[in-house]
Amino acid sequence: MKKVNPSSECHGESAVMRNGSHSLLRDCHDLLQSLLWHFALIIRCHQLPERSFTFRNRQVPLCARCLGISVGALAIPLYARDLRIAGVLIAAMIIDGGTQALGLRVSKNWIRFASGIGFSLGCGGLIERGIQHLCSM
């Protein structure tokens, strides 16, 4: 009969638990990567590596601007209801993207992400105001 050291058995179980949770995190990460990749294909994101964030040495499947637009679209309670604020938020992305497209400057990913969020919040506010106006007719 083989003797088992109880302390080694406990360490073995905790190692399995750690590896199991590590595997679960990796599986969740892989699933999220796959979902974002399919979403990027649907919205026609260019997915350029130099314009995308990385997480755990893997490229996020959406460029920084598309990721920002997506995050902003989900932030419904934060939509800009004031037309001036909505206009400024939309203009910020147009200026950022326009000056970059014209080669006047190189934008940074955090600016692309922030202007994408602002664009969504501004557009969401305009759409919300438009729907309210149509419903009040």
Q: pLDDT by residue (tens digit) across 58-93?
A: 899 999 999 999 999 999 899 999 999 999 999 999
What is the mean predicted confidence (pLDDT) over 102-118?
96
Q: How many CA atoms lie within 13 A of 62 on its CB side?
A: 21
Asked whether residue 114 is assigned to any structural domain, the reply reads yes
Mean of the pLDDT values across residues 110-116? Answer: 97
108: in domain: yes
Give me the mean pLDDT over the 88-112 stretch: 96
In this predicted structure, the answer to whether residue 14 has a pLDDT above a threshold of 50 is no
Query: Which of the residue ranges 13-22, 72-81, 91-100 would you say has the lowest mean pLDDT?
Result: 13-22
Report how far residue 7's alpha carbon sits from residue 9's, in angstroms, rounded to the nearest whole number. Answer: 5
Domain tally, the chain: 1
pTM for the predicted model, two decimal places: 0.75
Q: Flag whether 1 is in a domain.
A: no
pLDDT at 90: 97
Q: Does residue 96 register a pLDDT over 60?
A: yes
pLDDT tier at 11, thresholds 50, 70, 90: very low
Instruction: Tell me whether residue 84 is in a domain.
Output: yes
Q: At what angle do helices 83-101 and 109-135 cross, to 10 degrees?
A: 140
Q: 45: domain range?
A: 6-135
| Mean pLDDT (whole number) for 2-20 | 45
What's the chain's average pLDDT? 85
Query: Is residue 53 in a domain?
Result: yes
